[in-house]
Amino acid sequence: MAGKTRQSKAKLQSAAFRRTRSDHSKELAADYVELIADLIDERGSARGTDVALRLGVANATVVKMLKRLQDMGLVTQEPYRPIALTGEGWEMAETGRKKHQIVERFLLALGVGEETARIDSEGIEHHVSDETLRAMGRFLARQIS
Amino acid sequence: MAGKTRQSKAKLQSAAFRRTRSDHSKELAADYVELIADLIDERGSARGTDVALRLGVANATVVKMLKRLQDMGLVTQEPYRPIALTGEGWEMAETGRKKHQIVERFLLALGVGEETARIDSEGIEHHVSDETLRAMGRFLARQIS
DNA sequence: AGTCGAATTTAGCATTGGCTAAACCTCTGT
DNA sequence: ACAGAGGTTTAGCCAATGCTAAATTCGACT
Ligand SMILES: [Mn+2]
Ligand SMILES: [Mn+2]
Ligand SMILES: [Mn+2]
Ligand SMILES: [Mn+2]
């Protein structure tokens, strides 16, 4: 059983790399909508500059990305106006927030400092499957008791 | 204390996103050298096709990437010959393997199934800071007792 | 030695995500 | 009313990562 065929090994491993590449292709959209939702909740509206500042990228980068998010049906925007989320956008933001929170709180519960938990969770969240997320949830539930 | 300035909030959050982007820029090189090291150890040599097959990408993609890895000083290769790692390449592979193993074993210890641990760790490994890695190590040490 | 199949490389292309600089709108305050 | 500041968009660029198809080289077997 430990002896795997060359081919089966390749198949198994390439599946992992494919998943990671697929995660990355969805990552940016997830971060954008989550951030936009946060800005709307915190300050009433999300402007391009705020998004750029929080992401640490140039304004022009945000403009271009927002067009893609519109094409994906996650965001609506009239020229020179603040950014709005579609229903689908809100849904995605909500899902993302929940996941992000669990990952961040999990790291804290594991004994990681606040700043590190904040930073690491921003990348880790996108690679956590449902199964792993559930395991983290169980760990958190255990911790409380 | 809970009330953060708009600016300070932006600075903190953009730092997290910058770290994630920086992680991604290093990720591919890390995966390549780790995979090449594995292939050399397992089968005596690493050929382009093996790398392509295990990563799940086209041959031409690997050729191009190997050139960049050569420029980075991680890999050496004569035309039409198998791939060798430089000293730096082996070092990076070793560091990567250790980290990858801790992350994967950590997920297993958390109660995640084998396949999921294998897949999720492939992406998560690149976003785990030294601090978080140590926390995972402590968790594993505790588990054993 | 010659041929054929497998591996490798090259060429040419597309998409994603980033940047700067310059032009363009909006809104607010005088 | 309108000037100026600040926000937004456009234009044009670049690097990274992927692909397919075609050309090339290597090596093993007759
Ligand atoms: Mn998030
Ligand atoms: Mn994120
Ligand atoms: Mn990632
Ligand atoms: Mn990896």
As a whole number of angstroms, the distance between CA B24 and CA B120 comes to 15
A19 Cβ within 7 A of any nucleic strand C atom: no
Condensed to tens digits (0 to 9), the pLDDT of residues B13-47 reads 999 999 999 999 999 999 999 999 999 999 999 99
The answer to whether the beta carbons of residues A123 and B23 sit under 8 Å apart is yes
Q: How far is CA A60 from CA A34, A48, A53, A57, A89, in A?
A: 19, 9, 12, 8, 21
**Is B120 an interface residue toward A (CB < 8 Å)?**
yes
The number of angstroms, rounded, from the C-alpha of B61 to the middle of its chain's C-alpha atoms is 18
Rounded to whole angstroms, the Cα distance separating A137 from A96 reads 15
pLDDT at B3 over 80: no
Q: Which fold has domain A16-144?
A: Arc Repressor Mutant, subunit A (1.10.10)
Predicted TM-score (pTM) of the model is: 0.95
The token duo for A11 is 């198949």
Amino acid found at A28? L
Distances in whole angstroms, Cα of residue B18 to Cα of each of A24, A56, A143, B23 = 15, 7, 31, 9
For chain B residues 82-141, those near strand D by a CB cutoff of 7 A are none
Q: What is the per-residue pLDDT across B77-113, written as a single tens digit (0 to 9) for each?
A: 999 999 999 999 999 999 999 999 999 999 999 999 9
* Pairs of residues, one from chain A and one from chain B, whose beta carbons lie less than 8 Å apart: 119
Whether A123 sits inside 8 A of B53 (CB atoms) is no
Is the CB of A82 less than 7 A from some atom of nucleic acid strand D? yes
**Whose structure tokens read 């910058």?**
B18
Please tell me whether any atom of strand C lies within 7 Å of the Cβ of B25. Answer: no
| DSSP string across A17-70 | HHHHHHHHHHHHHHHHHHHHHHHHHHHS-B-HHHHHHHHT--HHHHHHHHHHHH
